[in-house]
Amino acid sequence: MMRLALPLALPLVMGVAYAASPYLALYQMGQAMRHGDARALCADISWDQVRDGLKEDIADGIAGEPQTTTHAAVEASADDLPPFGASFVTNLAGNVVDRTVTPGHLIETMSTLRAAGTSAARPDIEAAHFTSPTSFTVALRPPGEDVVRLRMDLKPTPGGLRWEVTRAWIPQSMLEKSETHAS
């Protein structure tokens, strides 16, 4: 009986460990933020991918949906340079993202919030699910804030596999606070 139980239990234990692994990774990232461990955050988050995604979101928000215009409206605005203006603002916003979306800034922001007594509680997990065998998405609600969504991907490393944040969707209100704090 014992010889039969071991081969059946092993896949079950491995499945449970796999299903729990992104939650463990999130916990470890939270610990790194609470303890000011920038080195751990560098390993847990693909900062370049996260920054690129945020820049893309900002550019999409600035560009918006194209409006339908009449021929007269096009002639009236022939002097305007909307693509240049949108490009300029996108580049400016991209510079803010480059400056503020860093391990050091994240830790500094957490310290500032902790000192103000606003981040004593952990964020609530509103939703979490696998989107593929190697991708996991989580929606977090920090106390008093809008929902932040993260995508984590399972990445190979020399020591095995680990979950890494590769995309973040941050609400506009948090981006504005971060921009104000970075200035």
CA 105 – CA 99 distance, rounded (Å): 8
The pLDDT, as a whole number, for residue 109 is 74
- pLDDT tens, position by position, 118-163: 555 678 889 999 999 999 999 998 877 888 899 999 999 898 899 9
Q: Using alpha carbons, select from 141, 114, 113 the residue that is nearest to residue 126.
A: 141
Q: How many CB atoms within 10 Å of residue 45?
A: 22
CA 97 – CA 125 distance, rounded (Å): 25
Task: Name the percent of the chain lying above pLDDT 90.
Answer: 26
The pLDDT, as a whole number, for residue 12 is 87
State the average pLDDT for the chain.
77
- Residue 140 near residue 148, CB atoms below 8 Å: yes
* Structure tokens given for 182: 């970075």
Helix (H, G, I), strand (E, B) or coil at 127: strand
Torsion of the alpha carbons at 48, 51, 53 and 57, rounded to the nearest 10: -160
Q: Using alpha carbons, select from 150, 132, 133 the residue that is nearest to residue 141.
A: 150
- pLDDT above 80 (res 116): no
The pLDDT, as a whole number, for residue 66 is 38
DSSP state, 153? E
The H or E element containing residue 11 is helix 2-34
Burial (0-12, 13-18, 19+ Cβ within 10 Å), 121: exposed
Delimit the domains of the chain by residue range. 2-65+76-182
CA 138 – CA 161 distance, rounded (Å): 19
Q: What is the pTM of this model?
A: 0.71
- pLDDT above 60 (res 182): no
Give mean pLDDT, residues 79-102. Answer: 65
Lowest mean pLDDT among 36-50, 61-75, 86-100, 158-172: 61-75
- pLDDT above 80 (res 177): no
**Tokens 């996991």, located at residue:** 136
